[in-house]
Amino acid sequence: MDAIFKIIELFKSFLLEIGELSYFAGRFFKEVFKRPFEFKEFLRQCFNIGNRSFPLVAITAFIIGLVFTLQTRPTLLEFGAVSWMPSMVSIAIIREIGPIITALICAGRIGSGIGAELGSMRVTEQIDAMEVSGTNPLKYLVVTRILATTLMLPVLVILGDAIAVFGSFLVENIKGNVSFLLYFNQVFDALEFGDLIPATIKTFFFGFAIGLVGSFKGYNCKKGTAGVGLAANSAVVFTSILLFIIDFIAVFITDIFYDL
């Protein structure tokens, strides 16, 4: 019985968390269209999120392209289908691997950073001081960060996809002596707008989820230094789960359109 009660309590706390997050998202949409627009802070957050996350995304994407091709090539060689390598790798990376891996990296890098930053501001009462001074902290701190992650994550995903495909080309060039022109001709012949558009659209939702959860956890951080660490950690865990749910919904909807 104790185990059942614990499961019920966990389910209740999860529903409560979803409700609070939905209310927080509603406050974001209410504030985002109000003046004044914090354009300078928005640009600063775009630079911090995009520029500082790009090296990690680029290195990870390059290694994914190398490893994915190295692991797949022997199997295709057995079936005499190694010529399909460029099209297979490009479709797999652009449709699924690139967006979800980049989003998970950014959830760890950006989501935890936003959670820790806003959490420390809440603990040291800087957010309370902004409210007393007449500044809207939700507008200045939260709206700018969510908009920046929503805008910058698709850019990081596109750059990461390109680097991953280039890494795959290097393996094919070394192993199979495939030229740059031949490889990328096959890549672009295999890709269609039906591959690019849904994969790009869902990255906006990934970015929104990362910014929203990170800001929510940090903005509502409990008092004390332990609360800051908990906010950063829970932001990563909650965002990662949310990313997989969004990805499943996006793939499910895309599959329905493919069947039409």
Is there a domain that residue 26 lies in?
no
Is there a domain that residue 12 lies in?
no
Q: Do residues 86 and 69 make contact, with C-beta atoms less than 8 angstroms apart? A: no
Q: Do residues 117 and 218 make contact, with C-beta atoms less than 8 angstroms apart? A: yes
Collapsed DSSP state (helix, strand, coil) of residue 254: helix
What average pLDDT does the chain have?
86
Is there a domain that residue 17 lies in?
no
The CA distances from residue 178 to 163, 165, 182, 190, 225, in Å, are: 17, 14, 7, 17, 55
Tens digits of residue pLDDT in 160-218: 999 999 999 998 888 888 888 888 888 888 888 878 888 899 999 999 999 999 998 88
pLDDT reported for residue 259: 65
Is there a domain that residue 10 lies in?
no
pLDDT reported for residue 1: 63
How many domains is the chain built from?
A: 1
Tens digits of residue pLDDT in 119-140: 888 888 788 788 787 777 788 8
pLDDT reported for residue 260: 63
Range of the domain at 165: 40-259
pTM of the model: 0.89
Tokens 């949409």 belong to 29
Is there a domain that residue 9 lies in?
no
Helices of type H across the chain: 2-32, 39-78, 85-92, 98-106, 112-123, 126-132, 137, 144-176, 180-190, 193-219, 225-259
Burial of 135 per CB tally in 10 Å (0-12, 13-18, 19+):
middle
Is there a domain that residue 30 lies in?
no
Is there a domain that residue 141 lies in?
yes
> Radius of gyration of the chain from Cα atoms?
21
Of 17-26, 77-86, 200-209, minimum mean pLDDT range: 77-86
